[in-house]
Chains A and B, each alone.
Chain A
């Protein structure tokens, strides 16, 4: 069964802390996405990765294909980073690309 596991489920941090959210998946993938969902419900795509590392501002995403694991890091966290962070992967099915399978999300709350 193709699964996406995220940890932790909930995370509370103090402003300025370094934050890591983890995502593990079960089989080979063609791409992994990190999404941010704001309290109002809107979803923003943060990164799409198939290998290595990407950085955008205070956000860094890494993926280890051999270990089937990705991490999303937030440096110098701020209350405005409070949101649900969702990992989604696209698995390979018989050589062709499958659809996005989503993790259950990590709810981050950053306190001032």
Chain B
């Protein structure tokens, strides 16, 4: 158990819909990262938050957004969903740029 929690574990939805994925980091970790893992692209960095502020952005679509709240939990919002958004979404947390601890992931299926 990494200490990072993600909900929900599975999510099935339809094209055009909007979903919210939630992540709670390990106690004491200020950095939260979001990653997408699809079959054809592998793991890709989406976005990083540090203590409530956006720190870095990767290959995140404009339809996707994220935020980190004062209690340090983070949410990833995916809107206008397309079939190609089906993937595993991982959250990870760390202390600064140290070792990252991954959550169990949310498996998103868009039908």
Contact = CB atoms under 8 A, between A and B. Distances in A.
Given A44-B2, A86-B43, A105-B42, A97 B104 contact: no
Given A48-B98, A99-B56, A41 B88 contact: yes
Main SS class of interface, A = strand
B44 interface: yes
B100 A45 contact: yes
A44 to B, nearest CB: 7
A27 interface: no
Interface residues of B, number: 21
Interface in B79-111: 88, 90, 92, 97-102, 104-105, 107
Interface in A4-18: none
Interface residues of A, number: 22
Interface of A: 30-31, 33, 35, 41-45, 48, 86, 88, 90, 97-105
13 contacts: A33-B99, A42-B104, A43-B105, A45-B100, A48-B99, A88-B43, A90-B97, A97-B97, A99-B56, A99-B58, A100-B33, A100-B100, A102-B44
Nearest to A4: B42
Contacts, number: 46
B39 to A, nearest CB: 11
Interface of B is mostly: strand
3 nearest CB pairs, A to B: A43-B102, A102-B43, A99-B45
A45 B107 contact: no
A30 B97 CA distance: 9
B74 interface: no
Interface string B44-78: 11001000000010100000000000000000000
Contacts of B105: 41-43
A7 to B, nearest CB: 15
